[in-house]
Structure 1
Amino acid sequence: MERNILTNFEFTKNIQIEAEKSKLSVTIFSAFIKDNAINWISEYLKDIPEVKIISRWTPQDLAFKASDLSSYGLCKQNGWKFGIDNSLHSKAFIFDSKTVLLGSANLTDRGLSLSRDGNLEMGTVIEPTIADLQRLYELEKNVTWMDDALFEEIKEQIDILDIEKPDNPSWSSALKDKLSPVVDYLWISELLHANPESFEWPDMEDLDIAHDIDLLSLSMENIRNKELIKQKFLSCREYRWFKQQLHLAEEGTYTNFGWLTDKLHNAILDDPPPHRVGVKKYASDLEKWVKVYANQEIKITKFERTSGYSLI
């Protein structure tokens, strides 16, 4: 019986099969990446002209060992390109632009259940349309491709974090700028689904709150840490996109709530896109987040029927 939803074992087995079949290119998006999973998949990726591995690699991911710093060296050794996007949340395995595996599994031992204590994950396999592939390629626009100089800069800062052990690990301003490429498009999964007030006393059964906790890489221990939440929000793709839209707005443009809703609707890649009412909800929540956590960067002016936004 053919299944559209794959279990851990089936998902991992499909990755192996598609990797062995691939002849031209393989691209993997995975928030977390561990060396043992890199070594595992390298056994099945032989003589492929182009392999690209893209990870999130936030300072928290590396400092707390959710991802391995040494993965770049393994990819380089294999002749693969390695890139990072500090806001990456998606997981996708793309083989020869013909087969795409999507799911919750990261390229890690636990994510792919390479050992007995694997996570409970699910996924699916699709044959992408041209439009699907275009959306996936658009994600690469947000990737910063690694070279030895950038790696040494990241490694130096991780070494410092390991010694200082700050409450909220973060990159220096200079490195943060290097790792913050332009954000042109967004997936619904990259948008905040709840308002910031929800975090005052979070209901973990609320799927929107659970989504935002995952999106901002928070945990039960720090879910009410406002300074950390602020740091996470200011670096998330949705906020960076909004700030960029204000930078790009032509002089005389009414950058109000209607403008924001229209821009957000056009930026969302999901097919079908959300209804206009849904986009207004996302825009309204974004305004609330900006009011609480980005009021030193963006000014919100309230009018009788709308809100206006401007950079400070």
Structure 2
Amino acid sequence: MIFLAANLFSDILQKVKKSKTDVTIFSPYVKISVLKELLGFQSSRLKRSIVINLSVQNIVNGSIDLEVLEYCINNNIKVYVNNDLHMKAYIYDMESAHIGSANCTNSGLGTNETPNLELLIYTNELPLHFLYYCNHIIHKSRLLSLDDLKRIYQIINDLEIPNTKIQEVELILKKDEPLKILASELPHTSNVDSIFFYIKNGEIHEDESYILHDIYMFDLQNLNASSLNEFKKKLEFRLFEHPFLKMIFDSFNESINFGMIRRLLEKKCEDDPRPSRIDVNVLINNLINWIESFDSENYEVIQPNHTKILRKK
């Protein structure tokens, strides 16, 4: 279904009100008046998130209201910053979405007297690769904190910002977040081969959702490899460079067994909700299967008794 500028806002608002679990808005530009009308309600059941482009230039030219950031943080709306963002999408319960050209602004959604010429398409058939692409963007974005906001307010007093101050704000937004220990970042696919053949041949697989998770989690969509062996070599490098997995590998001198990895995750895991022990066992087993398939020069998997052991060579 196609929506034009005249009825964009009303239909988005209707879909937001009918959402049961979560609403996520991808919009480079956001205006506080529009956001308040769309997400300005208290709900213990509905998770609300926005992904925005918070370049200093967008702040200076008024495309982003700093009030949006304060409002969201004070009202339990997560704000993710990604300064490469250009897409516009309004996603409801990860099941349906408006996708098109319209920012979350008065001109974009046609709530003022001079609306832009915009277009949104509504669909309730979201392919898995679209959902994983959106999750990938969020994963690569920075979750804005109250401390970040306070520091930005300290620097920006008016729109006449010296270049040195612009650089200070950009540094705040570009700095790395503290490393989060997330079990959900472990491989979801047990067999590396299935990922290679999915990418190479587009083969439909019963584990498609897990394969897509791993493709986007480890940035494999552009991993050029002509053979399975080449793919495994490149994937091995990508896996061992992943910050979370480096934490696991750096935690032992010679070897670490399955139970030790599990206890490490159970102690430091920050997933919300926390995964069950069964889920953690599956994810760790997937990780070990990957490493075992690599024929790595640095690590090997041995099983002297009933448990597998990851050992440095």
Give the whole-Å Cα distance in 2 for the aligned partners of 1:56 and 1:23. 27
Partner of 1:155: 153
**Corresponding residue to 1:110 among 80, 102, 107:** 107
1:40 and 2:37 equivalent?
yes
Does the 8 A contact of 1:59 with 1:158 survive in 2? no
Partner of 2:126: 128
Q: TM-score, normalised by structure 2?
A: 0.52
Partner of 2:143: 145
What letter corresponds to residue 55 of structure 1 in structure 2?
I
Between structure 1 and structure 2, the one with the greater Rg is 2
5 Å-filtered alignment, 1:1-312, equals: 4-43=1-40, 46-126=43-123, 127-159=125-157, 162-166=159-163, 169-171=166-168, 174-175=171-172, 177-178=174-175
Give the whole-Å Cα distance in 2 for the aligned partners of 1:170 and 1:142. 21
TM-fit CA distance, 1:165:
4.4
Q: Which blocks of at least 5 consecutive residues in structure 2 are unaligned?
A: 179-218, 224-229, 235-313
TM-fit CA distance, 1:59:
0.3
Does the 8 A contact of 1:8 with 1:121 survive in 2? yes
Give the whole-Å Cα distance in 1 for the aligned partners of 2:40 and 2:144. 23
CA gap 1:90/1:38 in 2 versus in 1, 3 angstroms: same
Please state whether the residue corresponding to 1:23 is helix, strand or coil.
coil
Does the 8 A contact of 1:52 with 1:82 survive in 2? yes
Does the 8 A contact of 1:85 with 1:179 survive in 2? no
Give the whole-Å Cα distance in 1 for the aligned partners of 2:148 and 2:76. 17
What letter corresponds to residue 10 of structure 2 in structure 1?
K
Deviations 1:97-153 (A, max 9, x none): 111111111111111111111211111012202222111111111211111111122
Deviations 1:226-273 (A, max 9, x none): xxxxxxxxxxxxxxx9xxx9xxxxxxx9xxxxx9xxxxxxxxxxxxxx
Give the whole-Å Cα distance in 2 for the aligned partners of 1:108 and 1:180. 28
CA gap 1:62/1:23 in 2 versus in 1, 3 angstroms: same
TM-fit CA distance, 1:156:
2.6
Aligned pairs, number = 183
TM-fit CA distance, 1:169:
4.5
TM-fit CA distance, 1:72:
1.3
Does the 8 A contact of 2:73 with 2:145 survive in 1? no
Give the whole-Å Cα distance in 2 for the aligned partners of 1:110 and 1:49. 27
What letter corresponds to residue 139 of structure 2 in structure 1?
K
CA gap 1:53/1:130 in 2 versus in 1, 3 angstroms: same
Give the whole-Å Cα distance in 2 for the aligned partners of 1:9 and 1:46. 28
Q: TM-score, normalised by structure 1?
A: 0.52
TM-fit CA distance, 1:76:
2.2
Give the whole-Å Cα distance in 2 for the aligned partners of 1:93 and 1:48. 18
Does the 8 A contact of 1:103 with 1:123 survive in 2? yes
